[in-house]
Amino acid sequence: MTCPFLEYRSEANNRQFDEPRAYCGAAEQFVQPMRADICNNRYDLAHDEHCEIYLEHADEVSAGNENGNETENTGQSAGDGA
Amino acid sequence: MSYENYLAGEPVIITAALTGGVQGKEATPHLPETPEEIGKAAAEAEEAGASVVHVHARKDNGERTFATERFQEIDDEIRRQADDVIIQHSTGGTGASDEDRHLPLRTDPAPEMASLDMGPMNRYDHLTSENTRGLVDSLHEEMVERGIKPELEIFNDGHMNETYGLLERRDLAEPVYGTLIFGPGTLTPPKPRNFINAIDNLPEGAQFNTLGFGRHQLPFVTMGILFGGHVRVGLEDNIYYERGELATSNAQLVERVARIADELGREVATPSQARDILNL
Ligand code: SF4
């Protein structure tokens, strides 16, 4: 399950990208590709274990959101395929 | 290697670390991510004086991938656009499985070189890239099988001990080639005395490469040139050309270090000379 703060955006903070990129709704900024793997719980990574931003904002997440009912997260949560 | 090697005017190998595995276009629009962009960056870096390109693979949205197929696409583009540059794949991969870490070694042909991280490194606040001895040994084994030269990434003095440990466990082809890395966090503190100390600690006959993160890139590669070593620059390690001014390309960073080497009297190695020096 991906982080409830994760979104994929093509545009934010005066930046535009051809491909939607991982955007953190808690930090309100695009995230580094390495961190995006944490947001997506890829490999051996987990947002609720490895992301200090999530851990700081965890109390803002409702139980429903943390169970994957979020509406803002537009996806691309599949594994890396590597 | 030492100041005497500098005085002897031996050629300096410039490695361009084009992309990296941490930041992406959210940090700088100039960082190449797609195979086409990486191929173009490699060609420009070679033109500017790089004889080696250090390669990480990304998906179209900039996120990391370790898939052999993506490395193959990137290599094909580099070979299409560049002339003769040596391809060095990263085997780094924080959080990735040991199996995934082997995948970059399996392109056809294999890369001439690949990185080999010598031990753990902390990332963010709750994550460590472990790089166990077991993984180091298995990556080295596959590199030997596939004729790939390992570039030992020595993040700190403890990793120098790990380098000697690897030399006890395995036969490494000569010359041993290690990259001394300076910067924040788990890396060796970027102080000149630590640089001299690291050189003194290198195994007999080793060739060294010098890597400084961020604003330490320029002074540390200059020291690398002066102490007879080789150097690595590129947007993976530093996205700025000057304070507050983004570098416009990897080639811009390569051009500057090539100019400094030239001014200091060291020839910039061609890919062919680099192959001779590293015994590829
Ligand atoms: S894992 Fe961290 S960086 Fe990623 S979306 Fe969640 S809070 Fe933001």
Domain boundaries, chain B: 3-278
ipTM confidence score: 0.91
Query: At a CB cut-off of 8 Å and minimum separation 6, what does B26 contact?
Result: A15, A21, A29, A30, A31, A32, B62
Q: Whose CA is nearest to atom 4 of ligand 1?
A: A39
Q: What is the pLDDT of residue A69?
A: 36
Judged on CB neighbours under 10 Å (0-12, 13-18, 19+), B161 is middle
Q: For domain B3-278, is the CATH number 3.30.930.10? A: no
Statement: residue B78 has pLDDT above 50: yes
Q: Whose CA is nearest to atom 3 of ligand 1?
A: A24
Q: Is the sign of the CA dihedral B189, A34, A73, A20 positive or negative?
A: positive
Mean pLDDT computed over B131-151: 98
Name the minimum distance, in Å, from the CA of B102 to any CA of chain A: 10
Mean pLDDT computed over B99-112: 98
pLDDT in tens, B169-186: 999 999 999 999 999 999
Q: Of A37, A50, A55, which has the smallest distance from its Cβ to B64's Cβ?
A: A37
Chain A to chain B, count of Cβ pairs less than 8 Å apart?
86
CA R_g for chain A? 12
B99 shares contact with chain A (CB less than 8 Å): no
Q: Do A37 and B95 touch (CB under 8 A)?
A: yes
Q: Do B67 and A82 touch (CB under 8 A)?
A: yes
Which residues in chain A have Cβ-Cβ distances shorter than 8 Å to B64?
33-34, 36-37, 80
Q: pTM of this prediction?
A: 0.93
